[in-house]
C-alpha cells in the first residue's frame, strides 16, 4: 500500500495515499481497533455531517466573506455534496467506540472535505480546522449531526413504513367485515369480536405510535450548532447559529432552528431519549401485533388456525412441509433489540457531565440502528406477511360456537351466577351451553334460541 505524509498538531502521520482522510482520522483509526469494519460510525451521521459542513460554509460565507471566500465555498460545497451523496463513504473508517464527543468523526469529516476540496481547487486552498471547521466545535457539530440524522431517519424512513402498514390494515379491515370470531383475554376464551374490529385495534395502535413519533420529532429540530466548545459560541460570528440552521433547513427541506439554550444542547440528550421512547412504543406495539398474528395462524391443524399467512420458505430442515411465521419472528426480534437500545440510550444520556455529554456516539449508533431496523422490519412484515393474511372463516365459526364465554349473553336473562353454573356444567359434561342451560332449568329451548345470538354480541 502506498502512503502519503499528513500532519497535525502532534506531528506527522502516514495515511493511505488513496484516501482523503488526514492525520487525526488515522490516529483514531490506529488507537481504537474496536469493532473495526462492523461498528463504524453510522452512514446517517456521515450524511448529516456533510449537510452541516456545507451549511456552515454557506453561513460563514454570508457572515465572514473575507475568510470564507467564493472560491473556498465552491470547493467545500462540492466536496460536501459528495459526502452527502455517499460517494466518499469509504473515507469514513472510524468506529463508534471512540471519544465520547465524536471529535474524531468531526475531524474525519473536516479532513475528507478539506482534502477533496483542495483536489477540486487544484491547490492547497482549505484547512480542516480553519476552513471546514470554521465557527464550529466537535462539541456542537456532533449533537447537530445526531439531530439531523434522527429527524431524517424518523420522517423519511420510519413514519412512511408505519403508514404503509396502517394502510394495509385498513384494507384488511374492509375485506373482513362481517366475520365474527371468538375474542380472547388472558389467552383464554372471551366474548365475541369481529375480525375487522381486531384488525382495527392493530391499526389504531400504529396510528397512535405515528402521532407520538411526530410529536417527538419536533424537539429534535433544535440544533446545537453555534454553541461551539461549551455553549458560549466562542469563535462563531454573531448570528451564525440562526443562519446555519436556516441553511440546514434549505438543504434538508425540514424546518430546523437553532437551540434556544446551547448549554443545554451540548450536555443534555433529553430530546433523543424522548424520541427513542416513541420509537420503543412503536416497537412494543409491533411485538404485540406480530405475536397476535402468529398465535392466530398457529397450527395448521393443532393450533388456533383462524388465519393463514403466506408460506414464504420451508420452516424445517427435518420436518417436510412445515412452514413457520418467520416474518412475525423477525419483528419480535427487532422489537427486543429496540427495547435494549432504549436502555443503552437512557443510561448514556445520564452522562452529561458539566458542559458536555461524552456518550454521544453510542447514543447515535443505537438510535439510528433502532429506527433503521424497525422501519425495514415493518416494510418486510407488511410486504411478506400482512398483505397475505386470510381469514379461515370455518375455523373462526367453529371456535366461536365452541366458546363457553358466549354464556355472557345470558347474563341479562338468568343472572351472572346461573350463567356461571351453565358454563361450568357445559364444560364438565362436554355439552353445549343450550343443553346445559335447559338441563339446569334456567331457560326453555325456545327462549334460549330467542336470546342467544353470538353474531350480535360484537
Handedness of CA 374, 87, 45, 211 (dihedral sign): negative
Pairing of strands 11-16, 3-8: antiparallel
Region of residue 226 (phi > 0: left; psi between -120 and 50: alpha; otherwise: beta): left
The rounded distance, in Å, linking the Cα atoms of 179 and 157 is 34
186 is catalytic: yes
SS (H, E, C) 131-198: HHCCCCCHHHHHHHHHHHHHHHHHHHHHHHHHHHHHHHHHHHHHHCCCCEEEEEECCEEEEEEEHHHH
Catalytic choice (316, 380, 397, 403)? 316
- Find how far residue 203's CA is from the centre of its chain: 18
Cα–Cα nearest to 110, from 20, 170, 208: 20
Q: Residue 316 pairs with which residues in a beta bridge?
A: none
The rounded distance, in Å, linking the Cα atoms of 75 and 70 is 9
Catalytic choice (29, 186, 403, 453)? 186
- Find how far residue 76's CA is from the centre of its chain: 32
Inter-residue contact 198 to 417 (CB < 8 Å): no
The residues annotated as belonging to the active site are: 186, 316
Amino acid at each position: 500500500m502506498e502512503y502519503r505524509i499528513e500532519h497535525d498538531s502532534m506531528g506527522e502521520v502516514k495515511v493511505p495515499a488513496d484516501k482523503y482522510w488526514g492525520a487525526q482520522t488515522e490516529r483514531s483509526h490506529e488507537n481504537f481497533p474496536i469493532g473495526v469494519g462492523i461498528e463504524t460510525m453510522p452512514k446517517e451521521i456521515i450524511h448529516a455531517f456533510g449537510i452541516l459542513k456545507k451549511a456552515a460554509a454557506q453561513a460563514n460565507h454570508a457572515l465572514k466573506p473575507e475568510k470564507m471566500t467564493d472560491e473556498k465555498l465552491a470547493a467545500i460545497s462540492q466536496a460536501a455534496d459528495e459526502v452527502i451523496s455517499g460517494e466518499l463513504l469509504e473515507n469514513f473508517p472510524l468506529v463508534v467506540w471512540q471519544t465520547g464527543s465524536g471529535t474524531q468523526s468531526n475531524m474525519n469529516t473536516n479532513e475528507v472535505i478539506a482534502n477533496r476540496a483542495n483536489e477540486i481547487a487544484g491547490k492547497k486552498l482549505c484547512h480542516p480546522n480553519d476552513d471546514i471547521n470554521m465557527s464550529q466545535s466537535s462539541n456542537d457539530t456532533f449533537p447537530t449531526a445526531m439531530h439531523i440524522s434522527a429527524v431524517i431517519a424518523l420522517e423519511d424512513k420510519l413514519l412512511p413504513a408505519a403508514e404503509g402498514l396502517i394502510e394495509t390494515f385498513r384494507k384488511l379491515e374492509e375485506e373482513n367485515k362481517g366475520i365474527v370470531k371468538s375474542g380472547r383475554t388472558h389467552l383464554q376464551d372471551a366474548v365475541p369480536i369481529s375480525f375487522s374490529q381486531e384488525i382495527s385495534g392493530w391499526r389504531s395502535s400504529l396510528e397512535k405510535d405515528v402521532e407520538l413519533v411526530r410529536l417527538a420529532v419536533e424537539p429534535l429540530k433544535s440544533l446545537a450548532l453555534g454553541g461551539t466548545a461549551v455553549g458560549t459560541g466562542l469563535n462563531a460570528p454573531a448570528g451564525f447559529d440562526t443562519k446555519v440552521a436556516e441553511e440546514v433547513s434549505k438543504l434538508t427541506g425540514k424546518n430546523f432552528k437553532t437551540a434556544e439554550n446551547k448549554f443545554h444542547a451540548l450536555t443534555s440528550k433529553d430530546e433523543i431519549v424522548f424520541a427513542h421512547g416513541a420509537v420503543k412504543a412503536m416497537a412494543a406495539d409491533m411485538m404485540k401485533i406480530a405475536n397476535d398474528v402468529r398465535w392466530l395462524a398457529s397450527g395448521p391443524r393443532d393450533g388456533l388456525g383462524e388465519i393463514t399467512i403466506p408460506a414464504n420458505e420451508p420452516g424445517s430442515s427435518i420436518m417436510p412441509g412445515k412452514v413457520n411465521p418467520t416474518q412475525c419472528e423477525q419483528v419480535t426480534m427487532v422489537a427486543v433489540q429496540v427495547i435494549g437500545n432504549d436502555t443503552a440510550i437512557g443510561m448514556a444520556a445520564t452522562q452529561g457531565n458539566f458542559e458536555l455529554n461524552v456518550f454521544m456516539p453510542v447514543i447515535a449508533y443505537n438510535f439510528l440502528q433502532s429506527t433503521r431496523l424497525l422501519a425495514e422490519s415493518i416494510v418486510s412484515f407488511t410486504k411478506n406477511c400482512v398483505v397475505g393474511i386470510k381469514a379461515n372463516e370455518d375455523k373462526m365459526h367453529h371456535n366461536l360456537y365452541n366458546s363457553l364465554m358466549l354464556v355472557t349473553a345470558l347474563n341479562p336473562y338468568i343472572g351472572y351466577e346461573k350463567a356461571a353454573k351453565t358454563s361450568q356444567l357445559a364444560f364438565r359434561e362436554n355439552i353445549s351451553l343450550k343443553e346445559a342451560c335447559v338441563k339446569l332449568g334456567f331457560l326453555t329451548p325456545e327462549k334460549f334460541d330467542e336470546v342467544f345470538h353470538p353474531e350480535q354480541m360484537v
